[in-house]
Amino acid sequence: MNDVTKATETLHRLEAEFAKATDRATTLQTERRKISFAAHDGDAKAKSRLAKLNAESLESGLQIENLLSAVDEAKAGLLKPSARSDWQRSARTQWR
């Protein structure tokens, strides 16, 4: 498998993970909206669940931002064939 093929497969995997993450964020938002009134109207169980959903939503938002950045970097690396080797070398060594 050559570098371009591997980078393309990585990009597709990242895009699929991004799609899953955005679906999860939508699901969390829907559930938060459903229980928000009860949580703010004194329902202790709803309040506890809302707090957990809020925490999950924050983490989900960060995951989406990180995946979006990774997708952007992958696309940038694929669009610049002359820089591809440097990009891959940098990505491998920068965070070791």
pLDDT at 61: 97
CA gap 20, 60 in Å, rounded: 10
**Residue 88 pLDDT grade (very low, low, confident, very high; cuts 50, 70, 90):** low
pLDDT tens track for 14-55: 999 999 999 999 999 999 999 999 999 999 999 999 999 999
What confidence score (pLDDT) does residue 5 get? 82
Rounded to whole angstroms, how far apart are CA atoms 40 and 28? 17
| Domain residue spans of the chain | 3-94
- pLDDT for 34 equals 97
pTM: 0.75
Return the H-helix or E-strand segment holding 82.
Answer: none
Separation between Cα atoms, residue 49 and residue 44, nearest integer Å:
9
Residue 93 in this model has a pLDDT that exceeds 70: no
Amino acid at 21: A
